[in-house]
Structure 1
Amino acid sequence: MAGRGIIVNHDIKSWRYNRYFFNKAILTPSFNHEAVKWTNIMSQELEGYWKSLGNLNLSKDNLKNLNDWQLEIDMAEWVRRFTSDMIVILITGERSYTMASYYNLYNPVKVIHSNPLIEDSERFVKAFSDYLFGITIFMYFGYFSRRYYPGIKDKVKHLLNNRDYVFEALDIIIKKRRKEIEEMPVGTKLGHDMLTSLIITNTERDMNEDKNITKDDISTRPMTDVEIRGNLLDAFIAGVDTVSINGFWIVVFLCDLNS
């Protein structure tokens, strides 16, 4: 991933180029509006799952008062899936339904959604955590250790397979969206998600052209699929892990204030 994205990009010229596009995609008012809108939608959806699971524990005598439900949950797991669903919809404009998948583990009545972005959303989300862990392994262990040390070499093999899965999944998502956009007439209103913004920026479909960029500036050309993949990868890694951890501790802090 050297020369791609932002997080591990050591090429300053490429880093500036990718940072420009990344910021341009997420700092628009429309993107922020989508974030607020989907936060409300996801919060209501999450509350619905909790109420449904809580009502499963009610006795027959208490079924008439469904507002008296109680539920013991693993907050870290729920917050992780909440933020995962949020990040996926903001980045790709499509749903992943990881909260629904986790809910289905505990409820005999399954929630089924059509046309999810990824069939195995649990694996998709976990793959980014494994990818981040893989970066650490490759930073601290040299070539000889990764290739020949028992235990480490098997883990490295798994991490490399996981990397290939992540790259392939992102490439499929990018190509699918690019094809959808190409089949739309020019001027059609497009989504405000990050992926769409990265694909159309500096093209004839770009409605947010920066007039302050000169002709010889590096940021005047569109992004390639590989460059888009690098930015999506950074967004998923930062969003799924960092945001979920922060979200968990915010909930813990709020609970302590009310206790």
Structure 2
Amino acid sequence: MTDMALILVTGAASGLGRNTANALVDEGHDVVVHVRNPARLADAENTVRWKGIITGDLADLDEIRQVARQAGGFGRFDAVIHNAGTMNSRDAGTVNTVAPYLLTALMDKPARLVYLSSSMHRTGSTDLRRLAAGTASYDDSKLWVTTLAFAVASRWQGTSSHAVDPGWVPTRMGGAGAPDDLTAGHQTQVWLATHHKVTPSTGGYWHHRQTQTPHPAAQDDEFQARLVQALESHTGVPLD
């Protein structure tokens, strides 16, 4: 276990993000939560737990930049958990891939980065023309954000970067009939954000604290480079 850490969790109004943030606070960490709609955090007894609240719609490039600026007001985070996600095909590419990329590029480098993936990334496409065209599917976006996690791991010494498949869990997005364990859905993210002794120390694809083999493209240096180049071109913001 690390000492008390300052941690940002995106998409923390409900579901996995909220559970992750609550678990981190329970362990004694200072947690800043991001929500799209602050009305979703109307229960006052919980809001006092947070170190701070950041708001912004991660489907909008200007608002993503505003989220990064708000985050900057807290200084350098020890860990950032990129949890926010959507299955809406119109917004999947922006929320699930572009937002984590822009926040990563614009914020001070944390010690640890955790990106939420999905087992569905294995059926994603490597056709990056879909990024600029706004036609990315959910599966595409999760392949790309998994690839981003590995690209950061290979480029940024001193920052650990991992991708996590939380499972198909019964959240608002996953649906009430989802078969996987809801509690196990956030435990890996909490562990990666707060523990020193993780093997591999960076560049892992995790499911319930065990490494798995991701889509081959995610670990391909050439595809990583093409993805980063496409994201830099799309946003006008370099990663390094």
TM-score (norm 2): 0.27
If asked which structure has higher relative contact order (CA below 8 Å, sep 6+), I would say 1
Which has the larger helix fraction? 1
Larger gyration radius, structure 1 or structure 2: 1
